Amino acid sequence: MAERDFTRTSFAEHLAEGRLMGVRCRACGALSVVPRVVCASCRASDPEWVELSGRGTLEGFTVVHVPPTPLAAAGFGRDNPYASAVVRLAEGPWITAQLVGVDPKRPESIRVGLEVRAEVIGEGEAARLAFRPEG
């Protein structure tokens, strides 16, 4: 099976299939969740897709009242904020995505350091990544 292009479109297609995929440099092993052809570490251009576990740790978050278009379309806004998480994946890279399963109107209830797991919200082109606290 041919590998998909190393683009955000391919990343989104993988998500729509329920898989969180990163890009690993075959030359030096550096892993990125931002699809790229040229390795940011060694400048080689020999990438491969690898499936990530989706497990990670909540390193920080912000509550967003003015969402980007896809989240505004999903009903978020000034009166219905959502939490945007910075997650360190078990494999090392950082990624930012919506944090679900928490109360964004009570940010004091959200603890940095929580173990979280990736899930896919929506289907097809509307599929997007989110994280949910485990347990």
- 25 contributes a contact to Zn ion by CB under 5 A: yes
Out of 16, 27, 31, 127, the residue judged to bind Zn ion by CB under 5 A: 27
By the rule CB under 5 A, 31 interacts with Zn ion: no
Contact with Zn ion (CB under 5 A): which of 41, 45, 53, 80? 41
Q: Which of 96, 95, 81 is nearest to 32 (CA)?
A: 95
Q: Give CA 119 to chain center in angstroms.
A: 9
Distances (CA, A) of 3 to 15, 32, 36, 43, 53: 15, 16, 13, 20, 19
Residue 95 tokens, joined: 């990624």
Q: Does 64 bind Zn ion (CB under 5 A)?
A: no
- Judged by CB under 5 A, how many residues of this single chain contact Zn ion? 8
* Min CB(41)–Zn ion separation in Å: 5
Q: Is 43 left (phi over 0), alpha (psi -120 to 50) or beta?
A: left
Closer to Zn ion by Cβ: residue 41 or 53: 41
CA angle 94, 100, 103 (to 5 degrees): 120
61 burial type by CB count under 10 A (0-12 exposed, 13-18 middle, 19+ buried): buried
Choose, by CB under 5 A, the member of 37, 38, 42, 72 that binds Zn ion: 42
Question: Among the candidate windows 23-31, 53-61, 75-83, 127-135, which touches Zn ion by CB under 5 A?
Answer: 23-31
Q: Which stretch binds Zn ion (CB under 5 A): 11-19, 36-44, 94-102, 126-134?
A: 36-44
Binding region for Zn ion (CB under 5 A): 25, 27-28, 30, 39, 41-42, 44
